[in-house]
Every structure is written in C-alpha cells, then in structure tokens.
Amino acid sequence: MKVLVFYATIEGQTGKIARFVADELETSGHEVTLVDAADMTAEVTPEEFDRVILAGSVHERRHPRLFEMFLAAQRNALDPARTLLISVSLMAAFESSRNRAQDFVDEMEMRTGFTPASVALVAGAVRPSSYDYFATQVVRHIVMRGKSYRPEDGDREFTDWAALRARVAEFMAA
C-alpha cells in the first residue's frame, strides 16, 4: 500500500517515532512517503495514499501550529477511516493522565474540524539536557507535576516501541 507519514516535531521525539513507523512499514513491503511539516517545499496530496499516518507532539496543550494548519487545510482530502493520528505527549506516559492526553486530541479536532477514526496516544520523551530554563520549569512545574520524575533525573524516553509497532500493524490491517 502507499502510505503517507506526515509529522511535526519540536524536540525530535516525534521525528524519531515517524521514522520508526516508516521503517516498520517499509520492512512490511509498503511504499512510504515521509514528510516533515517544517518542509515548506513539500507538496502533499493525501488523496494519492491508501493510508495516512499523522504524528504530532504536544507542547503546552497543543500540537504544533503547522501540524494543525495541515489538518485544517486538508480535512476534506483526508479520509478519517484511512487515517491514524499519533499524538505524542507525556500525559500519555502515565495511566493517571491518559484522559488528559485524549483532551489534547479532542481540542485539536475541534480547532481543525478533522476527526480521524483511529487515534494512538503515544508517550514521548523528556530531554532536560537540551531544554532552556523556561522549558525546564514548564516540565518540572506543569507537565510532570505530581509524577515520579524530576528534570534532575536526566533525559528519559517513555515511548513503548513494541506497543507502537502493534498499533500501526493493527491500523494497517483494518
């Protein structure tokens, strides 16, 4: 099948996730087009693909602006039944906050007017070694408040790669 993997990343984890998904699909024999939302030269026509996978990370409750703009602009070209949204956040990393991870998706759907049939809430990563002071404070006092993690603990990847592989395989088989 022809598959579009469109992604938007701020610190790189969603880029890593998108490349992982693309590699998995290629290994399974699919023809994959991988597009970074930041690539202004890319011409993307979702109608040409059998499946579309959209991956974007959450920062301060929102997916990247370019990501939301793409969804809003292409909502009529995107078939909800053939689209998987991968929402990458830290709320998705903890059972106690997964409903908040879903809230970010619901809010984005309201803003963009696009509702995919399949959604995967995927845990991202924390990288205090590359954050500035502001980002460190946001992660410490807002994002990870009440969680068993402090920025002093260092960089940590929460992404469950085996679960992601299974979720993508399930979507492709549907």
Where does this chain bind ligand FMN (CB under 6 A)?
Answer: 9-14, 57-61, 88-91, 124-126, 131, 135, 138-139, 143
Considering the complex, state which of residue 16 and residue 51 has its C-beta at the smaller distance from ligand FMN.
16
| Minimum CB distance to ligand FMN, residue 28 (Å) | 24
Answer positive or negative: Cα dihedral of 135, 140, 141, 143: positive
| Minimum CB distance to ligand FMN, residue 6 (Å) | 13
The 8-class DSSP code of residue 59 comes to B
Considering the complex, state which of residue 12 and residue 80 has its C-beta at the smaller distance from ligand FMN.
12
- H-assigned helices in the chain: 13-27, 65-74, 98-112, 133-138, 161-173
| Minimum CB distance to ligand FMN, residue 12 (Å) | 5
Answer positive or negative: Cα dihedral of 40, 46, 51, 54: positive
Determine the residue with CB nearest ligand FMN: 124
Considering the complex, state which of residue 10 and residue 77 has its C-beta at the smaller distance from ligand FMN.
10
Q: Which long-range contacts (CB under 8 A, 24 or more apart) does 138-141 make?
A: 138/60, 139/90
